[in-house]
Amino acid sequence: MSEVSLNTRRILLIVGGGIAAYKALELVRLLRKAGAEVRAVLTDGGAQFVTPLSLAALTGHPVHQALFSPDDETTMGHIELSRWADLVVVAPATAGLIAKAANGLADDLASTTLLATDKRVLMAPAMNVRMWQHPAVQANVARLGGFDGLHGVALVGPDDGEMACGEFGPGRMAEPAAVFAAIRTLLADAGGRPLAGRRAVVTAGPTFEPIDPVRGLTNRSSGKQGYAIAAALAERGAEVTLISGPVGLDAPDGVHRVWVETAVEMKVAVDAALPADIAVMSAAVADWRVDGVASGKIKKAPGGPPSLALIENPDILAGLSAPGPKRPALVIGFAAETRDLEENARAKLSRKGCDWIIGNDVSDDVFGADSNSVTLFRRGVADEIWPRQSKADVALTLVDRIVDHFA
């Protein structure tokens, strides 16, 4: 089994009508646990076995059921849905769904999506043993497997065993863990590692600047955006060093994390991680640190509060962007602004000397939130305003641009 993480990968799951549909729920759970985003299409038959509510609760998204639904078509229509995915999975795949897909029939949302997609399709067949062994089904399965390139459908299962109907033989849907493993393998095969051989350094989270042994200056950065970027870079094959201020997040799979507290420590760690091809500086570095940190706890004194003398921290991004033999080929910074985003971000691009700036509109609640509205500013290129999306999606979109840049 490949070791790729499913973090931020997008799976469109089509749930057909069969008793095995309950296994689709466990599959969604496994996929979500591995970090994948899942959207579900539920056929009329599937809805006889699992409820749209179960799938919506487990995927965290509304379930798509109807082809001609004004609601669905304005939010995410069948074409968009079929393109959104990195992989389409049909589980359980009934004899009916297999027959439609093999013959290009498009008369409901599931079959139409299968024809419209430009991604690989994985099917987990489930049906009675006689149905599975019927030459018509076998001919359809052979036909699906024989389509050229991307259109060739991969199969997982069916397994041999006792069936819900009491008969015995091949026809049971593969277990969720086996479908999950097949999904990982297919995603790894789908050329998912275009950044292999490239090194990346990412900073994330706040810094903590001590005042005395128990107090300090910090900020409300959660580190979520930087961690998501590190995960997406690693997933695309880059060798990632994540230099993190104090946050409560797990290190993403395959990422080398270095803990730091202060801006000065962060700068030392960034320098030590060079050379790198890609640098993404998403940490909220404190602008100042306390001059002369007290060696013991500062006591409350009758004369009133102490005054703190502050000195400027090194600007890690500006230092990294300066021309020199160790400058990464692509240096990306962030600009969190509450107003005049474009003006401020473009000014920061020139002042810091980096290549790209992710302009972050923090006028609404971004700190600690799971979604983000950003604009990508690049020298000599028009602004790219991205719709408000999850931080995982921001990371994926950014990494797509990075892949294009190096392609």
Of these, 126, 233, 281, 392, which contacts ligand C5P (CB under 6 A)?
281
Closest CB to ligand C5P among 4 and 316?
316
Q: In whole angstroms, what separates CA 376 from the centre of its chain?
A: 18
The reply to whether omega before 135 is within 30° of 0 (cis) is no
User: Mutual orientation of helices 21-33 and 52-59 as an angle, nearest 10°?
Assistant: 10
How many CA atoms are closer than 13 Å to the CA of 30, on its beta-carbon side?
16
Of these, 333, 359, 361, 377, which contacts ligand C5P (CB under 6 A)?
333
CA distance 203 to 358: 14
Of these, 73, 175, 265, 315, which contacts ligand C5P (CB under 6 A)?
315
DSSP conformation class of 247: -
Query: Residue 15's beta-bridge partner residues?
Result: 42
Shortest spacing between CB 226 and ligand C5P, in angstroms: 9
* Closest C-alpha to 331, from 392, 249, 405, 391: 405
Q: Is 334 in the site for ligand C5P (CB under 6 A)?
A: yes
CA distance 303 to 301: 5
Shortest spacing between CB 115 and ligand C5P, in angstroms: 44
Q: How is residue 1 written in tokens?
A: 């089994």
Of these, 156, 242, 263, 278, which contacts ligand C5P (CB under 6 A)?
263
Q: Is 317 in the site for ligand C5P (CB under 6 A)?
A: yes
Is 165 a known active-site residue? yes
* Other residues' Cβ atoms within 10 Å of the Cβ of residue 400: 13
- Which residues within the stretch 20-59 sit at the binding site for ligand C5P (CB under 6 A)? none
Which class for 102: exposed (0-12), middle (13-18), buried (19 or more C-beta within 10 A)? buried
| Catalytic annotation, pick one of 57, 165, 322, 347 | 165
Closest CB to ligand C5P among 183 and 285?
285
Closest CB to ligand C5P among 43 and 225?
225
Q: Is 67 in the site for ligand C5P (CB under 6 A)?
A: no
User: Mutual orientation of helices 95-103 and 109-116 as an angle, nearest 10°?
Assistant: 40
Closest CB to ligand C5P among 23 and 352?
352
Total binding residues for ligand C5P by CB under 6 A? 14
- Which residues within the stretch 190-229 sit at the binding site for ligand C5P (CB under 6 A)? 203
Shortest spacing between CB 394 and ligand C5P, in angstroms: 14
Closest CB to ligand C5P among 129 and 335?
335
Closest CB to ligand C5P among 258 and 283?
283
**Residue 202, SS3 per DSSP:** strand
Stretch that binds ligand C5P, among 77-85, 101-109, 190-198, 278-286 (CB under 6 A): 278-286
Residue 239 · residue 11 · CB < 8 Å: no
CA distance 44 to 182: 26
Q: Is 283 in the site for ligand C5P (CB under 6 A)?
A: yes
Q: Which residues are catalytic?
A: 165
Q: Which residues bind ligand C5P (CB under 6 A)?
A: 203, 263, 281-283, 285, 313, 315-317, 333-335, 348
